[in-house]
Chain A
Amino acid sequence: MSDTRQAARYTEYHPRWYRPRVSTWWWLGRWPYLKFILREISSVFVAWFVVVLLQQIRALSRGPEAYAAFERWLQNPLIVLLNLITLFFVVFHAITWFNVAASAMAIRFHGKRVPDLLIVGTNYAAWAAISLVVAWFLVRS
Chain B
Amino acid sequence: MPETISLEVLRYSPERDAEPSFQRYDVPLHKDWVVLDALNYIKDKVDGSLTFRWSCRMGICGSCGMMVNGEPKLTCATFLSNYAKENKPVRVQPLRYFPVIRDLVVEVTDFMTKLQSVKPWLIRGDGKPISEGEYLQTPEQLDRYKQFSMCINCMLCYAACPVYGLDPVFIGPAAIALAQRYNMDSRDEGAHERMDVLAQHEGIWGCTFVGECTKVCPKHVDPAGAIQQYKLTATIERFKSFLMPWAAK
Contacts and interface: CB of A to CB of B under 8 A. Distances in A.
Interface of A: 2-8, 10-12, 14, 16-19, 22, 26-27, 30, 32-33, 36, 40, 100, 103-106, 108, 111-113
Contact of B109 (A2, A7, A18, A40): A7
A36 B14 contact: no
Contacts of B166: 22, 26
Interface size class of B (residues with CB under 8 A): 35 or more
Contact of A2 (B110, B116, B200, B212): B200
B14 A16 contact: yes
Contacts of A18: 12, 14, 17, 19-20, 99-100
A105 B107 CA distance: 34
Contacts of B209: 100, 104
Given A11-B99, A16-B14, A17-B100, A103 B222 contact: yes
B195 to A, nearest CB: 13
Contact of B99 (A3, A14, A106): A14
Interface of B: 12, 14, 17, 19-20, 70, 97, 99-101, 107, 109-110, 113-114, 116-117, 140, 143-144, 162, 165-166, 168-171, 197, 200, 202, 208-212, 214-215, 222, 224-225, 228-229, 231-232
A10 to B, nearest CB: 7
A123 B222 CA distance: 21
A111 B225 CA distance: 18
A12 B107 CA distance: 11
Given A4-B169, A18-B19, 19 more contacts: A4-B114, A4-B117, A4-B171, A7-B113, A10-B109, A17-B14, A18-B100, A22-B97, A22-B165, A22-B166, A26-B162, A30-B70, A32-B215, A103-B222, A103-B224, A104-B209, A104-B228, A108-B144, A113-B143
A8 B110 contact: yes
